Amino acid sequence: MTTRVETRALESRSRFHYAWAIAAITFLALLASAGIGSTRAVLVLPLEREFGWDRATISLALSINLLLFGLCGPFAGALMIRFGVRRVMVSALTTLAVAVGLSMFMQSAWQLVALWGVLVGVGSGAMALVLGATVATRWFVERRGLVTGLFAASTATGQLVFLPFQAAVVEYAGWRTAIAIVAGVAVVVAGLVAVFMRDHPWQIGLRPYGAPDSVPIAPPGSAGPVSNPFRMTVSTLGEGVRTRDFWLLAGSFAVCGATTVGLISVHLIPASVEHGLTEVTAAGMLAAMGLFDILGTTISGWLSDRVDAKKLLVWYYSLRGLALLFLPAAYDLGVPALAGFVVFYGLDWVATVPPTVRLVADRFGKERVGPFFGWVFAAHQFGGSLAAFGAGAAHTFLGNYLVAFVVAGLLCLIAAGLVIGISGPAQRIQAPARPLEPVPA
């Protein structure tokens, strides 16, 4: 027999809930940010040809971009608590649109560093994984995992949607037209966010999707002192650096960033062109990796609920290392070998994320996943930053990417060893988590 509460819940689910509109807007914003991020991969060669900048100079700007993207992550959540999600999103998208738009007029390398390195890095970092986690947590009780997964897939989707198109635009209309398009997309999405985005369900008289009737439609309680979110972010880092497992998690995830967003995202296209492929074909390889990334991440999330996360990561890093060591030979073997690399590397691209999050939760507690994973993710981007610059510098001095690919492959094998050293949940840190409540605007 159906109770009155169950009946009301069923009726609520039968009607459209505004949480799904919020999810769609957030996904579009993350997609626009990912589109701008993926555009950097098709800028390396055009900027070299037009301005004569060497690969190391261009890679420096892109490495700063990746570094700031990661460093902004732990603090983005604090800004969302203090100023609201909508304000932070609009500010970030506006920053991206202005920085990318102004880069059409740049003439000096320092302008590339300031615009694409600093401003685009900060704007993208303000809408990193923490945005999706914040929105999913505030707006969804049911389907939260599904929504979080969709947000996480936005990077791969942006890569899949934008890269081949942007590469074709660069080839036939020039790089300035390509970045004008993504700047326009950022402006349009910023407008949609400003009009339709809301910070909390209670602002429009709703409970989170799937929340029972016992949950009040009201702002979260604010009794007692409100913790300083910036202080909590910094203190979390201070606590983490005093533990061995934090360094092992951060170190292994830094290798993940180095071998994905740092090396492959930035340098696969120029490396492929040097081996006789066209820019459009090389961009298509990256886009295909994005497609398989969606599948690989979904499967990895399913496995993380059933298989020891450490075992998964050891396999992921070991196989990724072998793939990178194989890549120079794949260029010589031709299309079938490259296709195999694309499929395998795409499946493994961010498959490391679900088991890494699981290990962070097991080690530091589920209630503190956000701040701790924020700093582990910062290490991911720091590794990407070093690899983006290091591979470019190595190419400038050596004339090819062979050393970069071999070193990256060996680093993956080292990362597998780091994961083995991580302790289990029995050694979890039990320090009390301080409440972090939203500050009324």
Domains 16-204 and 229-428 equal at CATH topology level: yes
Domain boundaries, the chain: 16-204, 229-428
- The partner residues of 140 in beta bridges, in order of sequence, read 209
- The partner residues of 209 in beta bridges, in order of sequence, read 140
Q: Distance of alpha carbon 183 from its chain centroid, rounded?
A: 19
DSSP 337-401: HHHHHHHHHHHHSSTTHHHHHHHHHHHH-GGGHHHHHHHHHHHHHHHHHHHHHHHHHHHHHHSSS
pTM as predicted: 0.72
Model pLDDT, residue 342: 92
CATH number of 229-428: 1.20.1250.20
How does pLDDT run across 375-417, given as a tens digit for each residue? 888 898 889 889 988 998 999 899 999 999 999 999 999 999 9
Instruction: Please give the Cα distance from 338 to 276 (Å, whole number).
Output: 13
How does pLDDT run across 246-267, given as a tens digit for each residue? 999 999 999 999 999 889 988 9
Model pLDDT, residue 437: 47
How does pLDDT run across 85-119, given as a tens digit for each residue? 899 999 999 999 999 999 999 888 899 999 988 99
Q: What are the angstrom distances between the C-alpha of 6 and each of 11, 186, 202, 206, 212?
A: 9, 42, 21, 17, 9
Give the residue-averaged pLDDT of 193-204. Answer: 89
Structure tokens at 47: 């900027």
Model pLDDT, residue 367: 59
- pLDDT tops 70 at residue 317: yes
pLDDT band (50, 70, 90) for residue 219: low
Report the topology of domain 16-204: Growth Hormone; Chain: A; (1.20.1250)
